Amino acid sequence: MSTTTPLTTDQLHPRLEELTVIDVRSPGEYAGGHIPGAHNIPLDQLQRALPALRAAAGRGGLAVVCASGARSEAACRQLAAAGVPAATLTGGTSAWAADGKPLDRPAGARATWAMDRQVRLAAGSLVLAGLLADLARPGARWFSAAIGGGLVFSAVSNTCAMGNLLGRLPYNRPRTAAADLDETLAALQR
């Protein structure tokens, strides 16, 4: 497998037993439904997980997933830079679910909104707040323009600083997330 091989849901499904699936979404998103057998390593923890991912890749291939494929592509680039080959699921878990493939949901887990939905809410709210503030303090609309510029940059660069920040909020990181990550890293080392 090359360093950034794209996989479709139909290509990944029969290979779930041979590939180690890594879900790079926030723990809250992961709890909302993930590919059976997937291990949750949030994108911002990927560097910490490199030794475990290198060990897992040595035993077989890695498939990296997120909600839509953008974060998993970024993860694959980081892994490739570290010499770890990985494939990305085109369309992410959204495509997986849309194709009728099963998702695991831990019992009692509280799901959060998908990160792209959280970004749209936050960005829209900030733009609206800037426009409303402009009514009281002329010139505040430039704050809205800056948010719009950030969204354009996000689309062009296929990165999302707002998503990274939102991913660090408490509702996206359940209290057990750190312990779960430690357990995941230990399991990948075996």
9: pLDDT strictly greater than 80: yes
For residue 163, report the phi and psi dihedrals to the nearest 5 degrees: -65, -40
Q: Where in the chain is the domain with CATH 3.40.250.10?
A: 4-110+174-189
pLDDT number for residue 185: 83
The model carries a pTM of 0.73
Take residue 19 and report the two structure tokens written for it: 């590939």
- The helix (run of H) or strand (run of E) holding residue 22 is strand 20-23
- 11-50 pLDDT, tens digit each: 999 999 999 999 999 888 888 889 999 999 999 899 999 9
- 41-94 pLDDT, tens digit each: 999 899 999 999 999 999 889 999 999 888 999 999 999 999 999 999 999 999
What percent of the chain shows pLDDT beyond 90?
60
Please identify, in words, the CATH class of the domain defined by 4-110+174-189: alpha beta
- The overall average pLDDT reported for the chain is 87
Q: In this structure, are residues 154 and 161 in contact, taking their beta carbons and an 8 Å threshold? A: yes
At 163, the pLDDT band (50, 70, 90 cuts) reads confident
- Please report, in angstroms and rounded to a whole number, the separation of the first and last CA atoms in the chain: 22
